[in-house]
Amino acid sequence: MTGTVHIIGAGLAGLAAAVRLSGAGRTVAVHEGTAYAGGRCRSYHDHATGLLIDNGNHLLLSGNRAAHDYARAIGTEHRLTGPDAAEFAFHDLRSRKGWRIRISDGRIPWWIFDPAWRVPDTTWRDYLGLAKILVASDRPLGEVIACTGTLYDRLIEPLMVAALNTSPPESSALLARNIVRETLAVGGEACRPRIARDGLGTVFVEPAVAMLRDRGVAVRLDHELRALVLEGERVVALDFGGDRIDLSADDAVILAVPAWAATALVPGVSGPTAFRSILNTHFRAVAPAGTPALTGVLGGTTEWIFVFPDRVSVTTSNADRFMKEPREKLAETIWGEVCAVTGLTGEMPPWQIVRERRATFAATPEQNARRPGPSTAWKNLVLAGDWTATGLPSTIEGAIRSGNAAAALM
Ligand SMILES: Cc1cc2nc3c(=O)[nH]c(=O)nc-3n(C[C@H](O)[C@H](O)[C@H](O)COP(=O)(O)OP(=O)(O)OC[C@H]3O[C@@H](n4cnc5c(N)ncnc54)[C@H](O)[C@@H]3O)c2cc1C
């Protein structure tokens, strides 16, 4: 095709497709419904804390190749920071004990044989059962591995909840398998934690939009697609309410909007119908020197503490149970936990709570089975987004891969 590719949605799926296609010399236009690009992965100025915050802390691993390639393509890979080793700090609020695990490089998991590197109070034999994940079919993870015991409580549950945003026993073993195959099974070189230390926007969003505009791509914000005008096997026009764009025979559309928007716009398209929320709590505080950039926390509301230069931010995944809790009470509980882990003291500093109610689709086998591939019944309409059939849960990596896959079909 040689016409214009209209990309609907400027989340990471849409931006990745736009970067690929414009880089290949294609004519591209991006239409974003809100006033900002980035979708569920963005930074903004927050009045309560007076800081630039992210809508939610995002953790990548060094094995997320598509995400790193995308960042490299827009010149921001160096802004994804993290340790040189696959090391993770943990703290249990109940026992007040902390420990670190370190995953050795290479496919042979030497680290499970070293008591200093593996999870405390586990033996190497405990890890053997995890091999079952590597060959799992799509059934609940709870039917594949025992979701109890020290190894599960201290490592598998925290990692799986972070990756799948769904209670592990009910999660899709297939999605867990695909993550494990690309990270833990590869070894430490694929498991190094990577964080957008200066904000998600500076790594994934603003430089991409600037690059697109430099290349002559129109990135139109506040331009919400209201309807696709479909005739026979083609999309013939885009209806934005106030204006309409008629498509020529060579024009095509990548619909890179969330599942709920896509299923409303495209007749007969299936998609996930159940979603899970994520709670993020940001404090304007500087953590004591030496505090790890990332700490997994057990036994409280806090699950992961992220330390940034000017703030300490806490993630609680699979957080539907906290959506109705009073904000002040939640912030106080979480601040107490942050103090217990980091050694910070004193009155609660300025804070903000961000509750993303439909942060990800529920990563269950049933929901996974509802995900469509990129092609549709309309010849010039392709789907993208973390909710399409990427083989991964709702993640940056999945979103970017879906954008790349959609671009490859143009
Ligand atoms: C709080 C939180 C924490 C997360 N943590 C992690 C993490 O640690 N690691 C990780 O890898 N992933 C994480 N994720 C998931 C990750 O953010 C998403 O998977 C990814 O950003 C999805 O990108 P997307 O482009 O598929 O969808 P979206 O970001 O939803 O983008 C879709 C875009 O389409 C726009 N749109 C919708 N309807 C229309 C319309 N009709 N017309 C025009 N535009 C429209 C939307 O406004 C949006 O900008 C997290 C998500 C949240 C919310």
Ligand 1 atom closest to the Cα of residue 224 is 42
Query: Can you give the pLDDT at residue 242?
Result: 87
Question: Is 255 a member of any domain?
Answer: yes
Mark whether 94 and 167 lie in a shared domain.
yes
Mark whether 181 and 210 lie in a shared domain.
no
Q: What is the DSSP letter of 104?
A: P
Mark whether 398 and 249 lie in a shared domain.
yes
Residue 234 is inside which H or E element, if any? strand 234-239
Q: Which residues line ligand 1 (CB under 6 A)?
A: 8-14, 31-34, 39-41, 55-56, 58-60, 224-225, 256-258, 261, 278, 280, 356, 359-360, 385-386, 394-397, 399
Burial degree of 231 (CB within 10 A; 0-12, 13-18, 19+): exposed
Q: pLDDT tier at 251 (50, 70, 90 boundaries)? A: very high
Q: What is the pLDDT of residues 184-238, one digit of tens each?
A: 999 999 999 999 999 999 999 999 999 999 999 999 999 999 999 999 999 999 9
Report how far apart the first and last C-alpha atoms of the chain are (Å, whole number): 7
Q: What is the pLDDT of residues 334-356, one digit of tens each?
A: 999 999 999 999 999 999 999 99
Q: What is the pLDDT of residues 152-190, one digit of tens each?
A: 999 999 999 999 999 999 999 999 999 999 999 999 999
Ligand 1 atom closest to the Cα of residue 56 is 1
Question: Is 99 a member of any domain?
Answer: yes
Residue ranges making up the domain that contains 95: 86-191
Amino acid identity at 201: G
Question: Is 248 a member of any domain?
Answer: yes
Token duo for residue 145:
């591995």
Percent of residues, the chain, with pLDDT higher than 70? 100
Mark whether 386 and 262 lie in a shared domain.
yes
Gap between the Cα atoms of 227 and 225, Å rounded: 6
pLDDT for residue 4 is more than 80: yes
Q: Mean pLDDT throughout 265-272?
A: 97
Q: Looking at residue 402, which CATH number applies to its domain?
A: 3.50.50.60
**How far is the centre of ligand 1, averaged over its atoms, from the C-alpha of 400 (Å)?**
11
Q: What is the pLDDT of residues 293-337, one digit of tens each?
A: 999 999 999 999 999 999 999 999 999 999 999 999 999 999 999
For ligand 1, atom 41, name the residue with the nearest CA. Answer: 225
Quick one: angle between helices 157-164 and 173-182, nearest 10?
Answer: 100
Question: Is 260 a member of any domain?
Answer: yes
How far from 98 is each of 89, 93, 120, CA to CA, in Å?
7, 9, 10
Site to probe by mutation for ligand 1, drawn from 205, 396, 400 as the one with most ligand atoms within 8 Å of Cβ, is 396
Residue 210 is inside which H or E element, if any? helix 206-214
What would the DSSP string read from start to end of 119-149? -TT--HHHHHGGGGGGG--SSBGGGTS---S
Cα torsion 355, 358, 363, 364: sign: positive
Gap between the Cα atoms of 196 and 175, Å rounded: 24
Mean pLDDT for the chain overall: 97
pLDDT for residue 1 is more than 80: no
Burial degree of 340 (CB within 10 A; 0-12, 13-18, 19+): middle
Token duo for residue 34:
């809100």
**How far is the centre of ligand 1, averaged over its atoms, from the C-alpha of 257 (Å)?**
8
Burial degree of 333 (CB within 10 A; 0-12, 13-18, 19+): middle
Query: Can you give the pLDDT at residue 2?
Result: 82
Mark whether 217 and 263 lie in a shared domain.
yes
Q: What is the pLDDT of residues 60-87, one digit of tens each?
A: 999 999 999 999 999 999 999 999 999 9
Site to probe by mutation for ligand 1, drawn from 19, 165, 388, 395 as the one with most ligand atoms within 8 Å of Cβ, is 395
Mark whether 91 and 168 lie in a shared domain.
yes
Mark whether 174 and 120 lie in a shared domain.
yes
Question: Is 241 a member of any domain?
Answer: yes
